[in-house]
């Protein structure tokens, strides 16, 4: 059964100053993690390797999205490690919470070959107004991550910046439909990764979706990405798992496990349109209601190796 998604993405970026030493002290090696997963590994344009982990949450209830969630249903946090070339040292480590907001970044972090454990109580005592989101990153160069981290660590919390628009859509290599926007000039134009691209094209043309920053059926989508009907997301997940390629694995892991894009179901709700009585109603009105749900987990068919 799906669980409701109750916390939407936020549009504005509010940069907060944090001390790097405070956050470094919140890192300890964990021996009790529940199946942390390395979701994706990529060589960036400036010869840095990027690793994306998902980290299951602990039992700290203060930061839950909804009280309906069981402990094993919590959306995981995300850890990103950057390594220069074949170096074993982590050049930069970034931690994003379940809302995909940047919560911590550390230069020259220890390399342990797996996700760190977070002292979430320490993090929760910090100001919770930082709004640097994972969706803003283009995943092209290490320099981008370094710049964001320096901004995160040094900017005053009162400084507000508008989200920077991408220069070009982020499209998965070998595809034309998988990413923010698409590079296709016609509906049936696909890249070399045909199976994966066909999954993305079908998902992009879902029978019900709500684009970013638009209103449909009385619901305003504050997310920086389009959200789709849950039926389309379920079909997308199955399609990628059946494709069984490395590219399909990366797309599925990013969409469902890392970015955790919610889906929605639309239903009719009857409400009284007059105030004649608390116990009876003369005029009833039917209107659409949008319910958001957590994404289903994507099960990888590939094992991503960490070096």
Average confidence (pLDDT) over 201-221: 93
Tokens of 71: 């402990």
Least confident of 122-131, 180-189, 191-200, 261-270: 122-131
Confidence of residue 117 (pLDDT cuts 50, 70, 90): low
**Domain boundaries defined on the chain:** 10-167, 188-307
Top-confidence residue, 20 or 257: 257
DSSP 159-171: -EEPPPPPSS--B
136 pLDDT exceeds 90? no
| Lowest-pLDDT choice from 20-34, 96-110, 119-133, 289-303 | 20-34
Residue scoring higher pLDDT (125 or 180): 180
Residue 42's nearest CA partner among 173, 134, 185 is: 173
Average pLDDT estimate for 281-296: 88
Helix residue spans in the chain (DSSP H): 20-24, 120-124, 142-154, 194-204, 230-243, 246-252
Q: What is the chain's Cα-based Rg? A: 21
φ, ψ for residue 49 (rounded to 5)? -90, 135
The H or E element spanning position 302 is: none
CB atoms within 10 A of CB 197: 26
* Distance, CA of 224 to CA of 247 (rounded, Å): 23
Percent of the chain with pLDDT over 90: 19
Out of 86-90, 148-152, 241-245, 283-287, the most confident range is 241-245
Segment 208-227 shows an average pLDDT of 90
Q: Where are the beta strands (DSSP E) in 48-204?
A: 48-55, 77-84, 90-96, 102-109, 117-118, 160-161
- The answer to whether residues 90 and 83 touch, using CB atoms and an 8 Å cutoff, is yes
Mean pLDDT of 52-65: 58
Q: Out of 5-19, 55-69, 145-159, which region has the weakest mean confidence (pLDDT)?
A: 5-19
For domain 188-307, give the CATH number: 1.20.90.10
pLDDT at residue 212 in the model: 87
């Amino acid at each position: 059964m799906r669980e409701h998604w109750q916390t939407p993405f936020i549009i504005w970026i509010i940069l907060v100053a944090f001390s790097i030493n405070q956050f470094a002290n919140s890192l300890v090696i964990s021996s009790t993690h529940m199946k942390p997963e390395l979701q994706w590994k990529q060589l960036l344009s400036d010869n840095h390797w990027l690793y994306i982990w998902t980290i299951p949450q602990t039992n700290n209830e203060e930061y839950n999205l909804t009280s309906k969630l069981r402990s094993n249903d919590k959306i995981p946090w995300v850890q990103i490690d950057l390594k220069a070339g074949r170096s074993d040292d982590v050049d930069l480590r970034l931690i994003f919470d379940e809302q995909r907001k940047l919560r911590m970044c550390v230069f020259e972090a220890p390399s342990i070959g797996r996700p760190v454990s977070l002292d979430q109580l320490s993090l929760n005592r910090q100001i919770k107004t930082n709004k640097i989101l994972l969706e803003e990153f283009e995943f092209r160069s290490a320099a981008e991550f370094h710049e964001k981290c320096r901004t995160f660590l040094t900017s005053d919390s009162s400084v507000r910046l508008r989200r920077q628009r991408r220069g070009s859509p982020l499209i998965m290599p070998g595809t034309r439909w998988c990413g923010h926007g698409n590079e296709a000039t016609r509906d049936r134009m696909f890249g070399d990764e045909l199976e994966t691209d066909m999954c993305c094209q079908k998902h992009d043309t879902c029978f019900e979706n709500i684009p970013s920053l638009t209103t449909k059926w009385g619901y305003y989508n504050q997310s920086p990405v389009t959200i789709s009907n849950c039926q389309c997301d379920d079909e997308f997940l199955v399609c990628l798992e059946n494709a069984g390629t490395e590219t399909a694995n990366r797309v599925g892991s990013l969409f469902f496990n890392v970015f955790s894009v919610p889906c929605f179901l639309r239903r009719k709700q009857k409400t009284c349109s007059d105030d004649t009585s608390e116990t009876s109603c003369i005029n009833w009105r039917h209107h659409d209601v949008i319910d958001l749900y957590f994404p289903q987990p994507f099960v990888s068919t590939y094992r991503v190796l960490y070096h």
